[in-house]
């Protein structure tokens, strides 16, 4: 398929249209008979189609790293996950007398390891949060062998440098200062912008938007993604042609962003989609934040095409467990540039309540 699309620009439109319908017919004829059987699907994708190979390798590389005792980044993710599990235990109603027993020793050991790491300055807030949650946990939990062992280890860990205290579950009083109308206005105003002024984008504004993006929810608070920005002319020259879907406006993109997912955040294969879900939630916040700062954006399609993936892997120096979630074009919108109307679904096509009715077994 990737070959097919790379031929698009080189062949007459009618020939390309014919090839595309032939491809579609082939997909239908092959996939229809096997799609009812998981085994046949597995055999097909194992022996006849390489479509999932890069993805599978990335998942395997991520799991291997996650379970490697030497990998610092995975430790940090594990700490975030476990500390978050403990804070959920702390806010439970009613709170159980003892909880987190099966992983408290591992968590405190992980906290101890993370406290020793050289780049701990970057982790200072995570460590202060872990510290506060663990102090609170040991104050309220009912003892037992596991808890006593964990407490003993915890007492011998150096205190984090970052200001401690207060990073524990709290009561969220008051209400949002953003009205529904203001938010709806922002949502309706944001549109994919493809025409930008050639004005440099201040990095300070990007940082402000990323700080908002970092507030997004993520599964078990793992935060398994990273934003990379490029506005240097050399980098733009190399990277702008990479994502497809920029035909006609590629040359005027003043800044490109690549959001990278980190598959080493997961213990098992079942969570492999987390990078896409978590990063996408964050990206939406990022886009809204850009709008409030006078900047605009356009998500750029990133399909799993081997040749394109390989090029991106080399240009961005990606590791096997890192996946590109999305590229984005961004900058100050050109006031002369038009945006597409992009009709949104009608409310009735967008949601249902209690339908279909679930019949209890
Ligand atoms: C994941 C994703 C990939 C997209 N890829 C492209 C792209 O490659 N080129 C492009 O011009 N627009 C792209 N878009 C923008 C969509 O065309 C646009 O979001 C959609 O038409 C709705 O319009 P709106 O964003 O203005 O509301 C993409 C959007 C998403 C969410």
Residue-wise pLDDT for 267-284, tens only, equals: 999 999 999 999 999 999
Q: What is the total count of domains within the chain?
A: 3
For residues 122-126, average pLDDT: 88
Residues 190 and 325 both lie in one domain = yes
3-state secondary structure of 345: coil
CB of 224 closer than 8 Å to CB of 275: yes
Q: 255 - beta bridge partners?
A: 330
Q: pLDDT band for position 69 (50/70/90)?
A: confident
Q: Is the CB of 343 under 6 A from ligand 1?
A: no
pLDDT in tens, 70-90: 888 888 999 999 999 999 999
3-state secondary structure of 35: coil
- Which domain covers residue 129, as residue numbers? 65-155
Q: Would you call 306 exposed, middle or buried from its count of C-beta atoms within 10 A (0-12, 13-18, 19+)? A: middle
Residues 187 and 267 both lie in one domain = yes
Does any domain span residue 356?
no
- Cα torsion 345, 348, 349, 355 to 10°: value is 150
Residues 236 and 268 both lie in one domain = yes
pLDDT in tens, 327-341: 999 999 999 999 999
CA distances from 84 to 119, 150, 181, 222, 235 (A): 22, 17, 33, 9, 38
Residues 45 and 75 both lie in one domain = no
Q: Which atom of ligand 1 is nearest to the CA of 249?
A: 11
Say which CATH number the domain at 301 has. 3.40.109.10
| pLDDT for the residue 106 | 96
For residues 176-190, average pLDDT: 97
Residue nearest ligand 1's atom 13 by CA: 300
322 Cα to the center of ligand 1, angstroms: 23
Residues 194 and 327 both lie in one domain = yes
Residues 201 and 225 both lie in one domain = yes
pLDDT in tens, 243-274: 988 999 999 999 999 999 999 999 999 999 99
Residues 187 and 314 both lie in one domain = yes
| pLDDT for the residue 73 | 87
Q: Which atom of ligand 1 is nearest to the CA of 246?
A: 9
Which residue's structure tokens are 């860990």? 157
| pLDDT for the residue 208 | 98
Residues 212 and 123 both lie in one domain = no
Q: How many CB atoms lie under 10 A from the CB of residue 150?
A: 25
In angstroms, the CA 211 to CA 204 distance is 11
110 Cα to the center of ligand 1, angstroms: 41
Q: Which atom of ligand 1 is nearest to the CA of 340?
A: 26
Residues 193 and 252 both lie in one domain = yes
| pLDDT for the residue 19 | 86
Does any domain span residue 317?
yes
| pLDDT for the residue 4 | 58
For residues 117-134, average pLDDT: 87
- Look at phi and psi of residue 174 and say left if phi exceeds 0, alpha if psi is from -120 to 50, else beta: left
User: Candidates 5, 192, 282: which one to mutate for ligand 1, based on the most atoms within 8 Å of Cβ?
Assistant: 192
Q: Phi then psi for 240, rounded to 5 degrees?
A: -55, -35
Residues 6+ apart with CB under 8 A from 80: 126, 220, 221, 222, 223
DSSP state of 46: H
Instruction: From 155, 171, 190, give the residue that closes a domain.
Output: 155
Residues 91 and 12 both lie in one domain = no
Q: Is the CB of 192 under 6 A from ligand 1?
A: yes
Residues 207 and 304 both lie in one domain = yes
Does any domain span residue 242?
yes
Q: At what angle do helices 145-155 and 124-140 cross, to 10 degrees?
A: 140
Q: What percent of the chain has pLDDT over 70?
A: 95
Q: Which atom of ligand 1 is nearest to the CA of 243?
A: 8
Q: Is the CB of 253 under 6 A from ligand 1?
A: no
Residues 102 and 196 both lie in one domain = no
pLDDT in tens, 223-239: 999 999 999 999 999 99
Does any domain span residue 70?
yes
16 Cα to the center of ligand 1, angstroms: 23
Q: pLDDT band for position 361 (50/70/90)?
A: low
340 Cα to the center of ligand 1, angstroms: 10
Q: Phi then psi for 285, rounded to 5 degrees?
A: -60, -40
Q: What is the pTM of this model?
A: 0.92
pLDDT above 70: residue 6: no
Higher pLDDT, 45 or 69: 45
């Amino acid at each position: 398929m990737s070959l097919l699309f790379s031929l698009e620009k080189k062949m007459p439109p009618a020939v390309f249209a014919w090839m595309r319908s032939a491809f579609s017919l082939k997909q239908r004829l092959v996939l229809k008979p096997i799609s009812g059987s998981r085994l046949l699907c597995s055999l097909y994708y194992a022996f006849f189609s390489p479509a999932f190979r890069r993805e599978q390798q990335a998942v395997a590389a991520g799991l291997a790293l996650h379970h490697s005792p030497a990998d610092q980044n995975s430790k940090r993710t594990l700490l975030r996950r476990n500390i978050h599990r403990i804070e959920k235990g702390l806010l439970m109603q009613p709170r159980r007398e003892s909880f987190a027993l099966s992983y408290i020793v591992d968590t405190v050991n992980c906290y101890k390891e993370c406290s020793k790491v050289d780049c701990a300055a970057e982790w200072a807030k995570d460590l202060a949060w872990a510290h506060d949650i663990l102090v609170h946990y040991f104050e309220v939990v009912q003892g037992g062998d596991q808890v006593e062992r964990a407490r003993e280890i915890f007492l011998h860990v150096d205190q984090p440098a970052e200001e401690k205290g207060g990073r524990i579950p709290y009561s969220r009083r008051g209400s949002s200062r953003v009205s529904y109308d203001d938010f709806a206005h922002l949502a309706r105003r944001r549109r994919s912008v493809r025409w930008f002024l050639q004005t440099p984008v201040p990095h300070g504004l990007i940082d402000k938007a990323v700080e908002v993006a970092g507030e997004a929810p993520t599964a078990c608070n793992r935060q398994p993604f990273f934003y990379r920005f490029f506005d240097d002319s050399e980098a733009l020259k190399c990277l702008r042609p990479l994502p497809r879907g920029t035909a006609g406006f590629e040359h005027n993109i003043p800044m490109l962003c690549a959001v990278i997912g980190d598959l080493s955040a997961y213990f098992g294969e079942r969570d492999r989609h987390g990078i896409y879900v978590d990063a996408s939630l964050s990206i939406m916040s990022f886009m809204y934040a850009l709008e409030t700062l006078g900047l605009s954006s356009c998500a750029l399609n990133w399909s799993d095409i081997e040749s394109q993936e390989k090029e991106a892997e080399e240009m961005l120096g990606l590791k096997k467990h890192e996946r590109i979630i999305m590229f984005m074009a961004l900058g100050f919108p050109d006031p002369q540039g038009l945006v597409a109307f992009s009709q949104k679904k009608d409310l009735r096509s967008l949601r249902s309540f209690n339908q279909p009715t679930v019949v209890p077994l």
